[in-house]
Structure 1
Amino acid sequence: MKQMKAVVIGAGVAGAASAIALRRIGAEVTVYEAYPDPAGKVGAFLSLAVNGLRALETLGCLDAVRAAGFEVDRQRMWSGRGKLLGDVPRGRAAGDPLRSVTLMRADLVAALRAEAVRVGARIVVGERLTGTGAGGGAADEAAARADLVVGADGLRSAVRRTLDPGGPEPAYAGLYGLAGIAPSVPEAGPGRTFNLTFGRRGTFLHLPAPDGTVWWSVQIADPAVPAGIELDVDELAGLFADEQVPRRILGAGARIDATTLFHVLPPVPRRQDGRCVLVGDAAHPVGAGQGASMALEDAVALARALHAEPDRAAALAAFDHGRAARAGKLARSAAANRDAKTAGPLAARVRDAVMPLVFTRAYARSTNWLYDYRPGALPQ
């Protein structure tokens, strides 16, 4: 049988993972990435729940990713006044032996890219798909000749626009974020614990790292699109003047390493056409701390579908159908999470009163479907 020639657009989490998975089923894979390689521990951190970790295990990258980050046992939610609203396992069911892993996004991408190269994928950086086809740049030329084109190029996907020029575009979600690292402070609490504080002006997340520092991020609700995110640490601490723990962490010499505007994307009606297919944020930017995990799931599911079905168009249709319901359900959960973070004063008071009564008991029922997912195996 003729070897499938696959072009992957984007070498982030979704793209590098897809390259590994496609190499595992024998495809010839070239990855085109518009940006240079990540450099060191710079930027925002992310967490991988156990469903993402199981996908990493299938890809053969779990040990490398664990070594690049640290495990987190618990997740605690707090009101702005320091009232404990909920205490649940972080990114897992209560009896699961796996533990959620938190690491810098750049380190996750680096581990996946290293494995992709090790198994024989070719990664070309500094090449952007323009959608002009043959006669365009290197990425366009390669995509025009490929048997399979995987759009792993994120929220503003060029592959998605090629598939559906009149399709949906991302819109500002009413939130912007900042992230960084602070020195150790006693108020940060115990290690291996992810903390989320619902503040009056925004949501503050923090977790103590094994080296004694505190990794933190902030999500600020603002209905107007900021012209730029120009807050410094002192101004940010002022926004959390009423919340003791966030104020203490930000006031302890925290640095800002990353800023971002959060976006939402309406459901994408056309995610594949029998030769091109979307994965990760290009297909379904789910949020809820699951973006990377869902991209890893996509990579495994795509390769399994192509391995099981010789007809490529049928395989892509089966992959798309199989992923749509799960991604859609998670997107609805993410929307509810955003609503909680942008709640007004009255809704916030109701949330703080109700969460301690129902959240911990309801958590397992509302998340077991997500964390119990098994991606299946790939050829060795």
Structure 2
Amino acid sequence: MRVIVIGGGVAGAAGAVALRRIGAEVTVYEAYADPAGRVGSFLSLAANGLRGLDALGCLETVGRAGFTVPRQRLWAETGKLLGDMPRGRPAGDTLMSVTLMRGRLVEALRGEAVRAGARLVTGQRLVDAVTEGPTVRAEFDSGLTAEADLLVGADGIWSATRRILDPASAEPRYAGLYSASGVARGVDVEPGTFNMVFGRNGAFIYLATPDGAVWWAAQVASPRPPDPASIDLDLVKGLYRREQMPAAVLAGATEWHRPTLMHVLPEVPVWRDDRTVLVGDSGHPVGAGQGASMAIEDAVVLARALQETDVPAALAVYEQKRRARIAKMVKSASANRDAKTAGPVARRVRNLIMPTAMKLFYERGTSWLYTHDVTAGWQHSGDHVPSQR
């Protein structure tokens, strides 16, 4: 089976690894060259995403690119502790959440895909895809064309594949938040804990790294989308000047990453046709720290479905297995965003209720997310499973 993967980010690289594991001939077409090192901001992989990486044989490689963070603490803007719980896992799960720079995750997964035998072609942007019987032909802006049995659209929230599948599909819209991030030094932060402060102007995240630095990210509430060029460190410092720990972290900032506007996408009605399918943010950007983990889950489910039946039927199985879980995740992410943009009255109510609610309901309310295992029946050996399709 020949597969074209559009996009070499987390979804595309994980998909390439999974598809090579079932013996597919995989070529990844990506607009950008391989990222390396500390590119962009950081992300975390929860237990469900880590089990997916384990199924793909990538868990150890990705683990070396980041560090484990056993616990998470939530704080009010006043400094009151609102919750203290295991990070991205149930209390009894020994699989610890891993935090790493996004570029390092992509770098690790692309390396695994290439080692598994996938071909990576950079500098190519998809402009059209046409299904002709049992094959699909992809056309790129360079004039290059390629044919395959399956095209996997892993090209993110601004997906060209999604627009080709359904020209009427909605476009992303600004989510009312923008993100600015960086690195601080000389700040005393307890290691092993992911901290989120629900500040007056948005959430502020910080955590200590093994080398003593502090990674931080501000998710600033802004009803109108600002010009990213107008956002600088002094602006962010001013927004968080009244929150003790965010102010201290920002005072020690030594690195500044390019700010980005955060976007959401309405439900995508068309995920597939008989030869093309969307995975990751191209079909369902979820947020709430689960984007990478959900993309990895997608990769495992798609490959397993293709291992069991022909391409059109497998794509239907993939959609059937993923739709309900993704819809529940999107709903949870929406509540997460609302908490970050709460007004004064809502903040007071939250600060009063959340400590008790977290103790009584948090683990029960998140077990569907963190205990989900897409790997049942997956072969954990390094051998590829020959494809008959």
Question: TM-score, normalized by length of structure 2?
Answer: 0.93
| Structure-2 separation of matches of 1:74 and 1:162 | 42
Q: Any idea what SS the aligned residue of 2:360 has?
A: helix
| 1:58 lines up with 2:58 in the alignment | no
| Structure-2 separation of matches of 1:63 and 1:194 | 21
Which residue of 2 is the match for residue 168 of structure 1? 170
Q: Any idea what SS the aligned residue of 1:130 has?
A: strand
| 1:131 lines up with 2:145 in the alignment | no
Instruction: Give the Å deviation of 1:246.
Output: 0.4
- 8 Å contact 1:152–1:281 — kept in the other structure? yes
Q: Any idea what SS the aligned residue of 1:131 has?
A: strand
| 1:110 lines up with 2:112 in the alignment | no
| 1:271 lines up with 2:268 in the alignment | no
Describe how 1:242-261 pairs up with structure 2 within 5 A: 242-261=242-261
| Structure-1 separation of matches of 2:342 and 2:258 | 24
Gaps of 5+ in 2: 131-136, 384-389
| Structure-1 separation of matches of 2:214 and 2:311 | 47
Specify whether residues 131 and 354 from structure 1 end up closer, same or farther in structure 2 by C-alpha distance, changes over 3 A only: same
| 1:72 lines up with 2:51 in the alignment | no
Which residue of 2 is the match for residue 155 of structure 1? 157
Specify whether residues 89 and 185 from structure 1 end up closer, same or farther in structure 2 by C-alpha distance, changes over 3 A only: same
Question: TM-score, normalized by length of structure 1?
Answer: 0.95
Structure with the largest fraction of strand: 2
| Structure-2 separation of matches of 1:168 and 1:82 | 40
Which residue of 1 is the match for residue 297 of structure 2? 297
Which residue of 1 is the match for residue 210 of structure 2? 210
Describe how 1:179-194 pairs up with structure 2 within 5 A: 179-186=181-188, 188=189, 190-194=190-194
Instruction: Give the Å deviation of 1:375.
Output: 1.6
Aligned partner of 2:159: which letter?
Answer: S
Instruction: Give the Å deviation of 1:361.
Output: 1.9
Gaps of 5+ in 1: none
Which residue of 2 is the match for residue 200 of structure 1? 200
| Structure-1 separation of matches of 2:62 and 2:182 | 20
| 1:24 lines up with 2:21 in the alignment | yes
Instruction: Give the Å deviation of 1:39.
Output: 2.6
Identity %: 57
| Structure-1 separation of matches of 2:75 and 2:278 | 37
Instruction: Give the Å deviation of 1:132.
Output: 6.2
Aligned partner of 2:270: which letter?
Answer: R
Aligned partner of 1:74: which letter?
Answer: R
Describe how 1:216-231 pairs up with structure 2 within 5 A: 216-231=216-231
- 8 Å contact 1:170–1:263 — kept in the other structure? yes
Specify whether residues 363 and 250 from structure 1 end up closer, same or farther in structure 2 by C-alpha distance, changes over 3 A only: same
Instruction: Give the Å deviation of 1:93.
Output: 0.4
| Structure-2 separation of matches of 1:363 and 1:206 | 21
| Structure-2 separation of matches of 1:210 and 1:327 | 33
Deviations 1:148-182 (A, max 9, x none): 00000000111100100011110000000011110
| Structure-2 separation of matches of 1:92 and 1:340 | 21
| Structure-1 separation of matches of 2:182 and 2:127 | 33
| Structure-2 separation of matches of 1:229 and 1:86 | 35
Q: Any idea what SS the aligned residue of 2:60 has?
A: helix
RMSD (Å) for aligned C-alpha atoms: 1.5
Which residue of 2 is the match for residue 337 of structure 1? 336
Instruction: Give the Å deviation of 1:141.
Output: 5.1
- 8 Å contact 2:178–2:219 — kept in the other structure? yes
Which residue of 2 is the match for residue 317 of structure 1? 316
Aligned partner of 2:162: which letter?
Answer: R
Aligned partner of 1:361: which letter?
Answer: L
Which residue of 1 is the match for residue 134 of structure 2? none
Instruction: Give the Å deviation of 1:88.
Output: 0.7
Q: Any idea what SS the aligned residue of 2:228 has?
A: coil
Which residue of 1 is the match for residue 387 of structure 2? none
Specify whether residues 29 and 88 from structure 1 end up closer, same or farther in structure 2 by C-alpha distance, changes over 3 A only: same
Specify whether residues 120 and 164 from structure 1 end up closer, same or farther in structure 2 by C-alpha distance, changes over 3 A only: same
| Structure-1 separation of matches of 2:141 and 2:179 | 34
| 1:95 lines up with 2:87 in the alignment | no
- 8 Å contact 2:139–2:145 — kept in the other structure? no
| 1:354 lines up with 2:356 in the alignment | no
